[in-house]
Amino acid sequence: MLTIIENLLNGDEVSRFRDALADADWRDGAGTAGTRSVSVKQNLQLDRGDALARELGNLILNKLGQHPEFVSASLAEKIWPPVFNLYKDGGHYGTHSDAALMRLPEAGLTIRSDLSATLFLSDPESYDGGELIVEEAFGAQAVKLAAGDMVLYPSSSLHQVAPVTRGERICAITWMQSAVADDSARGLLYDLDQSIRALTPGRAKDDPEINRLIHVYHNLLRRWANP
């Protein structure tokens, strides 16, 4: 399931991020690629230990934790610290899949990557190319969002970043382990939760039909959640 989270960051927040990243210490992103991915990865990244990366990453994590749609779509248990990357001058990331297990030694943490996320920080009109292309069951989908919007997609999918032929594409990326590892089950729970939230306004707090739907939601979550 591919899900768009609109306006995770508002316009003022995006501007502050871009101002802060304008003079960042960008480094060759090949250093964080796997043995096969390194041959198809051409971008710049901030080091995970970079103070600015940690500061901005924590702001994103705080936003995610407070965003109802993100919580509903991801059911995230663990989230990898956001990584900031920059594509320009033909920079791209060829077709690849994300590692299933991601180790964070400094935190003694291992994350199973169920979901990947890209938060767009550059205005789409400011650069050409740079689409995130995700291969889904019904074909490839190209994603290029407004600054401040985020896309969630299964980490198991093949995906790529098209070459940036003009301007700069700056994004933050992250991965998460969900309480529900199965993508189809997680998608059904998300759809059910969205329906409950849409039907609830205007109903009594003890509306039996809404309560029944909530009952079904939590029993399905109980059945599908990882032990």
Q: Point out the annotated binding site.
A: 96, 98, 159, 169
Please enumerate, by residue number, every residue annotated as part of a binding site for Fe cation.
Answer: 96, 98, 159
Cα–Cα distance for residue pair 139/124, rounded to 1 Å: 23
Please enumerate, by residue number, every residue annotated as part of a binding site for 2-oxoglutarate.
Answer: 169
User: What is the SS3 assignment for the chain?
Assistant: CCEEECCCCCHHHHHHHHHHHCCCCCEEHHHHCCCCHHHHEECEECCCCCHHHHHHHHHHHHHHHCCHHHHHHHCEEEECCCEEEEECCCCEEEEECCCCEEEEHHHCEEEECCEEEEEECCCHHHCEECCEEEEECCEEEEECCCCCCEEEEECCCCEEECCEEECCEEEEEEEEEECCCCHHHHHHHHHHHHHHHHHCCCCCCCCHHHHHHHHHHHHHHHHHCCC
Cα–Cα distance for residue pair 2/104, rounded to 1 Å: 26
